[in-house]
Amino acid sequence: MSQSLSAAIAAFSPNLPLAVALSGGADSTALLLCCVERWPGQVRAIHVHHGLQHAADGFERHCADLCERLNVPLVVRRIDAGHASGESPEAVARIARYRSLVSVLSTEWAGQDITDIAVAQHGDDQVETVLLALSRGAGLPGLAAMPKRWQRDGVTFHRPLLGVAGPAIRQWLRELGHKWAEDPSNADQRFTRNRIRARLLPALEEAFPHFRETFARSAAHAAQAQQLLDEVAAGDLGIIGIPPRIDRLQSLSAPRQVNALRHWLRTVHGAHASTAQMQELQRQIGACITRGHRLHLKIGVGFVVRQEGTLDWQTADPAPR
C-alpha cells in the first residue's frame, strides 16, 4: 500500500530552515502546504520560471499568491532553458533548474544557513522513470531511478514524497479545497512520460495493485547494486591509475573493464558512453598492442584518446590533420 502524504512528511527530517522547490503544480503545492504545517516559520520557497510555455506566468502567479497566503518567503528565478541541436530539452531544463535552486541559497538567502531543498517527485514519477529506463535499455544507474536523498554543490536535496501515489496527492488537495496550477503539457501524449502516465499506469494499477511498491523496491535493489559496482570500480581504478593505464585495463575481465571505464568517464570527466561507444572503446583498447597504435573515439562532448601508455579525455577533437 502506498504511503500517505501525512506519513511521508512525518518521516521527513531535513535540516531547518528548509527550502521547497515550488513549481506551482499539485505535487509541489501539497509539499509546501505540508511542510509549512509541520515547520511554521522555517520554510522558504523557490520558483524557477523556465519561460518554455505561455502558462509559465500563471505558474508564477499561483506560487506568489500561495506563498503570500502562507506567509512563506518566495524567490523567483527566471532562466533561459533553451537547448542546442541534439540536446534533450527536458535534460537541459532540469540541469538549469537545479543550478538555479542551488544558487538561490548562496545569493538571495546567503547567511540564513539553508542547506536542504525538498522537491516534489512522487511514487508515480518513480515508476515512470523506471519504465523510461527499461524502454531505453538502461543499465543499473537508469533502473535505480531517482534517489530519495542526494547532494549537489554542497546542498542536500530530498524527495520526501517518493512513497506517495500521485492521485493520492491530488485527492488530498481536493478534499481540503486547495488549488494548484495545471501544466497543460501534462496532457500532451507526444511526450513519452505522459503516454506512460495516461496509458500504462492505469493498466498496471488494474493488473498489479501494488506496482508502486514493487517498482520502488526494484529501483532500490538496482541502486544498491550500482553502489557496489562503484566501489569495485574505484578499487580497480586505484590499481589501474587515473588516467587509466592501457596495459592494466587489458588485464581486467570485460565486465570489470567496462565498469572501470564508465566510472572514470562519469566521475572524472562527467561523460557518459552509449553501449555502442563502450563496445568500440573496448575494441580499440584491445587493439593497443603496439606503441604506435592510435586510439580515438568520441564520447559525449569529448574524445577518448591514447597518450603514450594511458587513456585521456579531451573536449576538443585531437585527431591529427
Provide the pLDDT for residue 321. Answer: 42
Boundaries of every domain in the chain: 5-214, 241-314
d(CA 147, CA 55): 29
* Three-state secondary structure readout of 157-222: EECCCCCCCHHHHHHHHHHCCCCCCCCHHHHCCCCHHHHHHHHHHHHHHHHCCCHHHHHHHHHHHH
Mean pLDDT in residue range 274-290? 90
Provide the pLDDT for residue 84. Answer: 47
Provide the pLDDT for residue 83. Answer: 47
What nine digits make up the cell of 167? 492521485
Provide the pLDDT for residue 78. Answer: 86
Which CATH code for domain 5-214? 3.40.50.620
Percent of the chain at pLDDT > 70 equals: 92
Confidence grade of residue 39 (pLDDT, cut at 50, 70, 90): very high
Give the burial class of 218: count Cβ atoms within 10 A of its Cβ; 0-12 exposed, 13-18 middle, 19 or more buried: middle
Percent of the chain at pLDDT > 90 equals: 65
Provide the pLDDT for residue 90. Answer: 65
Question: Would the pLDDT of 176 be above 50?
Answer: yes
Scan for cell 499506469, then name that residue: 201
Rounded to 5 degrees, what are φ and ψ at 75? -115, 130
Name which of 95-104, 187-196, 248-257 the model is least confident about. 187-196
Provide the pLDDT for residue 20. Answer: 97
The pLDDT tens digits for 63-98 are: 999 999 999 999 999 877 654 444 455 666 777 888
Question: Would the pLDDT of 246 be above 90?
Answer: yes
Give the burial class of 51: count Cβ atoms within 10 A of its Cβ; 0-12 exposed, 13-18 middle, 19 or more buried: middle
Best CA proximity match to 18, nearest among 32, 8, 6? 32
Phi-psi region of 308 (alpha: psi -120 to 50; beta: other; left: phi over 0): left
What nine digits make up the cell of 74? 518566495
Provide the pLDDT for residue 95. Answer: 79
H or E stretch including 74? strand 74-78
* Cα-trace Rg, the chain: 23
- Mean pLDDT for the chain overall: 89
172 vs 3, residue with greater confidence: 172
What nine digits make up the cell of 184? 497543460
Name which of 1-5, 38-42, 267-271 the model is least confident about. 1-5
The pLDDT tens digits for 91-112 are: 667 778 888 899 999 998 988 9
Provide the pLDDT for residue 182. Answer: 84
Helix ranges, 24-122 (H): 26-38, 56-70, 89-106
The pLDDT tens digits for 261-275 are: 999 999 998 888 889
Q: CA quadruple 282, 284, 288, 292: dihedral positive or negative? A: negative
